[in-house]
Amino acid sequence: MVLSPAASGPPAGDGTGEHTPLLSVDRLVVRYGAAVALDDVSLEVGRGEMVALIGANGAGKTTLLNTLSGIITASSGAISCRGRLAHVPEGRELFPDLCVDDNLRLGAWKAASRDPADVYELFPKLRDLARRRAGYLSGGEQQMVAIGRALMAKPDLLAIDELSQGLAPNVVQEIGRYLVRLNADAGLSVLLVEQNARLALELCSRAYVLETGRIAAEGPSSHLKEQPAVQRAYLGGHVAT
């Protein structure tokens, strides 16, 4: 399998000209021993797009993201990313004993500048919390730090795993708005990986549905919302686990 080096490609696309997606995953297969976690998965994220990947627990969403970030090696298939990818992990995964400011700065390990000013501008609440130990923050605040940390790497694509996990709905909405703004103003592409299909389809223009390692459905969010199968499984009131 091939992971293209994360060279920064041409500036954010303007939609005209050739369609070269920022991220393209082609027939990805990932195995754990004899079990197959991802089976022939293909998807794309274009420049400036917000794309959702919906799936229940165990569908393979985290596996996919871990493969994208290089933590897991795929058995076959290809991944090609024409830009930098930053992965916001499920459950935030901060450095609990370090303060917010340190957490942010560490996100810039491979970046040119360690200055978190931009992140503080995006999430003004974090300014007051800069010296607070990350372990002591609320869920929403932690999520902002996690996203901020990922943004410090100056990525072209932000992949977020389970944004809504453990967060109150209003907090999720607020963070969602931040993401939309980032996408609109800075052209940041977003891959939103979610159990919460309603949220994902609301924020993103296009979506894939992942079921037990396979892409079960894909298309514009508006279409997917109408599909009865999707409605039953993900939007119909019972929580898919």
Q: Which of 22, 25, 37, 81 binds other proteins (CB under 8 A)?
A: 37
Alpha-carbon distances of 157 from 14, 26, 53, 71, rounded to whole Å: 16, 17, 14, 17
Contact between 94 and other proteins (CB under 8 A)? Answer: yes
Contact between 93 and other proteins (CB under 8 A)? Answer: yes
Query: Tokens standing for 230?
Result: 């999707």
* Rounded-to-integer distance, Cα 69 and Cα 24, Å: 13
Distance in Å, CB of 72 to other proteins, minimum: 8
Distance in Å, CB of 90 to other proteins, minimum: 10
In one letter, which amino acid is 184? A
**Of 29-37, 75-83, 177-185, 197-205: span binding other proteins (CB under 8 A):** 29-37
User: In terms of Cα–Cα distance, which of 153, 106, 148 is closest to 125?
Assistant: 148
* Rounded-to-integer distance, Cα 98 and Cα 81, Å: 31
Q: Are 103 and 149 in contact (CB under 8 A)?
A: yes
Contact between 136 and other proteins (CB under 8 A)? Answer: no
Q: Which of 34, 124, 185, 228 binds other proteins (CB under 8 A)?
A: 34
Question: Closer CB to other proteins, residue 97 or residue 128?
Answer: 97
Contact between 82 and other proteins (CB under 8 A)? Answer: no
Question: Could you tell me the maximum CA-CA distance found in the chain, to the nearest angstrom?
Answer: 49
Centroid of chain to Cα 177: 15
Question: Closer CB to other proteins, residue 94 or residue 163?
Answer: 94
The position carrying tokens 């199968």 is 229
SS3 221: helix
Contact between 118 and other proteins (CB under 8 A)? Answer: no
Q: Which of 8, 10, 32, 73 binds other proteins (CB under 8 A)?
A: 32
Which residues are at the interface with other proteins (CB under 8 A)?
32-35, 37, 69, 71, 86-87, 89, 93-98, 102, 105-107, 109-110, 114, 149-150, 153
